[in-house]
Amino acid sequence: MAMKRAVDQLGPMALAIVSLAIIVGIGAIVLAELGTLDVVTNSSTASDTIGAGESALGTFGDFFTVIVVVGVAAVIFLLLGALRRAGGNSMA
């Protein structure tokens, strides 16, 4: 039972990571497109804001691997805990 519960929690975590990657990808595309508009290139405030957004997405991209590794480690610990509880219950 504990193992099934642990495995059931993998789906939402995988969905969250995929959704996050899609949102970041779309955000990068939108910022790149906005940066090429004439209205934006003539406005220093808009240009600075878009540059800050591109920089933020770049920084997030640098940490995305760390986020995935931490997520995988959490899943491994969750599965190990479920196995330990399942093994302890079968000996009782």
List phi, psi (to 5°) of 67.
-60, -45
Confidence of residue 40 (pLDDT cuts 50, 70, 90): low
For 1-14, what is each residue's pLDDT tens digit? Answer: 556 766 677 777 77
d(CA 41, CA 87): 63
Type of residue at 42: N
Confidence of residue 91 (pLDDT cuts 50, 70, 90): very low
pLDDT digits (tens, 9 = 90+) for 51-78: 787 787 778 777 878 888 887 888 788 7
Q: Is the dihedral of CA 72, 75, 79, 81 positive or negative?
A: positive
